[in-house]
Amino acid sequence: MYETTAGEVRRLCQGLSVRQWNVPLGVVLTEDEPAYPGYDEKLWSQLPRPEPTGLVAALSGLRAYNTALLRHTPRGLWQRWGTHGEQGRDQFGLMIAKIAGHDLAHLNQLARTVAVAARQDDSTEANGSGR
């Protein structure tokens, strides 16, 4: 039970932290209408990653970096364009909206996973089973 939940939490956190948007964002901000490749998400999910505490630290660091980038990027640069190898042409501002939507979906999944684990834990304690 807990191993499955822990694995799900790790997977969801990885989805939040390593979508690898930093490179496309940087390329779109620094080059004129660049093209950048997509990647195989299933293969990406199988690559080595930090343990949960390291993953949380990585997520926090990326969030701090991206928040600073967005706060200090002049609004005029939000109109820049790039072309994703699979999704086609995107404007920087639209890329940010897609990232936010993706992250909200993962946060929603994470909240549901934690709620299920908490209910299971409460049920186990109520039955006197303990851990």
pLDDT digits (tens, 9 = 90+) for 58-94: 878 888 888 899 999 999 999 999 999 998 999 999 9
Helix (H, G, I), strand (E, B) or coil at 32: coil
Correct CATH for 2-126 of 3.90.1200.10, 1.20.120.450, 1.10.443.10, 3.30.70.100: 1.20.120.450
Token reading at 33: 């209408």
Token reading at 21: 């948007």
Residue 25: count other Cβ atoms within 10 Å of its Cβ: 21
Ordered by start, the domain boundaries in the chain are 2-126
Residue 91 pLDDT? 96
Residue 14 pLDDT? 61
Put simply, whether the predicted model's pTM sits higher than 0.85 gets the answer no
Helix (H, G, I), strand (E, B) or coil at 129: coil
Position 2 confidence tier, pLDDT thresholds 50, 70, 90: very low
DSSP state of 39: -
